Amino acid sequence: MVQITRVRLTSVNTPRHGSITCGHVLVELLTDADGLVGVGEMSDFQHLPRYHVDVADLEGTLNELLVGLEPLQITEVERRLEQSFPQAGYIYDKSRTIKCGVDIAMWDLAAKHLGVRVVDLLGGAVRDAVPIAYPIFRQQRDDDVARNLAMVARRVAEGFDHFRVYVGRRLDLDERFLRAVRDEHGDAITIKSLDFSNLLDPRAACRFVDRVADVGFDLVESPAPHHDVKGLAHARDRLPVPVSEHVYGFRWALDLVAADAVDVFNVSVIAIGGITPARRIFAIAEAAGKSCLVGTTQELSVGTAAAAHVAMAMPSVSLPSDPVGPLLYTRDVVREPVTYSGGKLRVPAGPGLGMVLDPARVAASAGPLSWAGTDAATVVDRAPTGPSNGTRPALPAGAAR
């Protein structure tokens, strides 16, 4: 009988190209079977609220909760995690990140124990790869328009043809970018969504959508403030394209269904707290007749691999998904990062997630989590961090953010 003997957490910090540095925590579930280790990732802690967990104390807590359990006791692990880190009903709640890292590691451990891939443990692949919509971050200054146009051109050359465009800070610049990118690329690209990220009230979001409707896009995401189910319903009734929203709790999913407020569930493995609870959200979506896509908080390769396995196994994931974290960071922590080709994310080969930590790469990024030098506005928009006077350095052409 194989048992978990130790939980090991390692905090790492990875810079984005020309942008902020994001903190993550790697999870290793060590066992009494030689070489059998489950690997997970608590991804991108650099979200509001602006505090970090005490990693050493958390490691002690998780050892208390998990040591002695067996690789296939995923349900029991979820029960213990939910008891200690309950859902808080907020998309960037730290508890969901903690639970997700452990849950991913449990699925990796269980699949390795059985000698299969996580996607096979989830029921088997229903598609051969995951179509990806590459993110284009918000326009906040005039030079962002040219910079983001260069980014689109770069990613098109690499095979991406779907893009998710963040909007809602500078609507004049957002419109300028949207019209310029359509003029430059025409129908060669698809704008999957305009992502308002809950920044505007629904009426303002709808007015902007009307203004740029001729540009052409498939979805509108988060066109109302957090938890504003009536606002989402208003936008859905008012807009000519489907509305999507992030689903970060069971109660929130049921509220969205009860109000028939959205057409699409954006299901992030991180935001819901792991693969195990994500499966319940997909079940709710299927029962309610909602389409799904797999969202992201911009994970490293371990977390991205988990998202890929989930997207491969869930029939309701019928729209291009969002995980591109490994393309945004300057370094990773695994021997062979996930791969993208033809605008699609490929499921790694090998048992479990197919990810193996690289000790040298982990050591190069290891360090305490910190908010030093990162302000709230930068975190919300994932913009480059500038000097204290509010200006910011220019990015090289085509640099990711």
Domain assignments of the chain as residue spans, ordered by start: 4-116+367-381, 120-353
Per-residue model confidence as pLDDT tens for the chain (401 residues): 999 999 999 999 999 998 889 999 999 999 999 999 999 999 999 988 899 999 999 999 999 999 999 999 999 999 999 999 998 888 888 999 999 999 999 999 999 999 999 999 999 999 999 999 999 999 999 999 999 999 999 999 999 999 999 999 999 999 999 999 999 999 999 999 999 999 999 999 999 999 999 999 999 999 999 999 999 999 999 999 999 999 999 999 999 999 999 999 999 999 999 999 999 999 999 999 999 999 999 999 999 999 999 999 999 999 999 999 999 999 999 999 999 999 999 988 899 999 999 999 999 999 999 998 787 777 777 654 443 333 333 333 333 33
Report the CATH number of the 4-116+367-381 domain: 3.30.390.10
Catalytic residue among 92, 134, 248, 340: 92
Which is catalytic among the residues 51, 90, 134, 166? Answer: 166
Residues 6+ apart with CB under 8 A from 298: 16, 22, 43, 44, 323, 324, 325, 328, 329, 382
Encoded amino acid at 263, one letter: D
Spatial distance between the Cα atoms of 386 and 400, rounded to a whole number of angstroms: 16
User: How much of the chain is helix, strand and coil, in % rounded to 5?
Assistant: 40, 20, 40
* Closest to 30 in 3D by CA, of 11, 61, 10, 8: 8
Which two structure tokens, joined as six digits, stand for 43?
């991804």
Is residue 340 among the annotated active site residues? no
Rounded to the nearest 5 degrees, what angle is found at the Cα of 317, between the Cα atoms of 191 and 155? 35
Domain covering 120-353: architecture: Alpha-Beta Barrel (3.20)
Cβ proximity of 397 and 147 under 8 Å: yes
Q: Catalytic residue at 166?
A: yes
User: Rounded distance, CA 173 to CA 308, Å?
Assistant: 33
Token pair of 355 as six digits? 């990810």
